[in-house]
Structure 1
Amino acid sequence: MGADRTCCPAGTTICCNVPSTFNYSGSGLRCRFGSLDVNAKLCGDTVCCTAPELDTGAAAASATPAATAAAAALGVAGKDSSPSDFGRLENETHKEYLKREYSALKPFVIISLSYLLFTTTDGAVRMIVLLHAYQLGFSAWQTAIMFTLYEVAGVVTNLLAGLMGARWGIKSTLLTGLTLQLCGIGMLFGWQDSWAADGQVVTGIVFVTAAQMLCGVAKDLTKLGGKTVTKLVTPDEKQSRLFKVVSFITGFKNSMKGVGYFIGAAALTYNYYFALGILLLLVLAAMPWAIVGLSNQLGRARKENISLSTLFRQAHNVNVLSVARFFLFGSRDMWFEVPLPFFLRDAAHGLGWERVAVGAVLAGFIILYGQVQSWTPQLVLQPLRQSPANKYVELLWNGLLCVAPAFLAVMLLGTPIFANRQLQAMAGVLLPGLLLYCVLFAVNSSVHSFLIVKYADGNKVAMNVGFYYMANAMGRLTGTLVSGALYTFAGANVVHGLGWCFVASVGFAAASTAVTVLIKDDSGGLRCGSKLTLVK
Structure 2
Amino acid sequence: MTTDLRNYLTVTFGYWAFTLTDGAIRMLVVLYFHQLGYSPFQVAMLFLFYEFFGIVTNLVGGWLAARLGLNVTMHMGMVLQIVALGMLVPTHLLSVPYVMAAQALSGIAKDLNKMSAKASVKTLVPKDANTRLFKWVAILTGSKNALKGAGFFLGAVLLQVVGFQDAMLILAGSLFAVTLMTLLLLPDEIGKSKSKPKFSQVFSNNAAINWLSAARFFLFGARDVWFVVAVPVFMSGVLGWSFTQVGTFMAAWVIGYGVVQASAPALLRLKAHSLGAGAGAAQFWALVLLVIPAGIAIALAQGWDAGTVLVTGLLIFGVVFAINSALHSYLILAYADHDKVALKVGFYYMANAGGRLAGTVLSGWGYQQYGLEGCLWFSTAFVFAALLLSLPLTRLRHA
> TM tier, shorter chain?
over 0.9
Matched, 1:474 2:341: no
Among 424, 436, 444, the residue aligned to 2:316: 436
Amino acid at match of 1:287: T
Among 31, 49, 64, the residue aligned to 1:149: 49
Q: Distance in 1 between matches of 2:312 and 2:250?
A: 14
Among 302, 320, 343, the residue aligned to 1:415: 302
Determine if contact 2:220/2:356 at 8 Å carries over to the other structure. yes
Determine if contact 1:247/1:450 at 8 Å carries over to the other structure. yes
Q: Distance in 2 between matches of 1:205 and 1:518?
A: 42
Cα distance, 1:522 vs structure 2 = 6.3
The residue that corresponds to 1:292 in the other structure is 184
Among 385, 388, 393, the residue aligned to 1:519: 393
Amino acid at match of 1:168: L
Determine if contact 1:171/1:290 at 8 Å carries over to the other structure. no
Matched, 1:233 2:124: yes
Q: Distance in 2 between matches of 1:131 and 1:138?
A: 10
Matched, 1:499 2:382: no
Q: Distance in 1 between matches of 2:154 and 2:350?
A: 28
- TM-score between the two structures when normalised by the length of structure 2: 0.96
Among 364, 367, 371, the residue aligned to 2:252: 364
The residue that corresponds to 2:139 in the other structure is 248
**Within 5 Å, which residues of 2 pair with 1:313-328?**
313-328=204-219
Cα distance, 1:282 vs structure 2 = 2.3
Deviation string 1:385-437 (CA, Å, 9 cap, x unpaired) is 6856521110000110011100111122x2134xxxxxxx2221111111110
Determine if contact 2:280/2:394 at 8 Å carries over to the other structure. no
Relative contact order, higher structure (CA 8 A, sep 6+):
2
Among 114, 119, 122, the residue aligned to 2:19: 119
Matched, 1:381 2:268: yes
Q: Distance in 2 between matches of 1:479 and 1:232?
A: 31
SS in structure 2 of the partner of residue 192 of structure 1: helix
SS in structure 2 of the partner of residue 262 of structure 1: helix
Where does the alignment leave 5 or more consecutive residues of structure 1 unmatched? 1-97, 196-203, 418-424, 491-496, 525-536
Determine if contact 2:142/2:261 at 8 Å carries over to the other structure. yes
Determine if contact 2:44/2:360 at 8 Å carries over to the other structure. yes
The residue that corresponds to 1:459 in the other structure is 339
Where does the alignment leave 5 or more consecutive residues of structure 2 unmatched? none
Cα distance, 1:110 vs structure 2 = 1.6
The residue that corresponds to 1:280 in the other structure is 172
SS in structure 2 of the partner of residue 446 of structure 1: helix
Deviation string 1:114-157 (CA, Å, 9 cap, x unpaired) is 11100000000100000001110111100111000000010000
The residue that corresponds to 2:197 in the other structure is 306
Among 383, 398, 409, the residue aligned to 2:286: 398
Determine if contact 2:65/2:192 at 8 Å carries over to the other structure. yes
Aligned length: 395
Closer, same or farther: CA 387–403 of 1 in aligned 2, 3 Å:
farther
Larger radius of gyration: 1
Q: Distance in 2 between matches of 1:104 and 1:487?
A: 46
Matched, 1:427 2:307: yes
Question: Percentage identity across aligned positions?
Answer: 40
Q: Distance in 1 between matches of 2:116 and 2:12?
A: 8
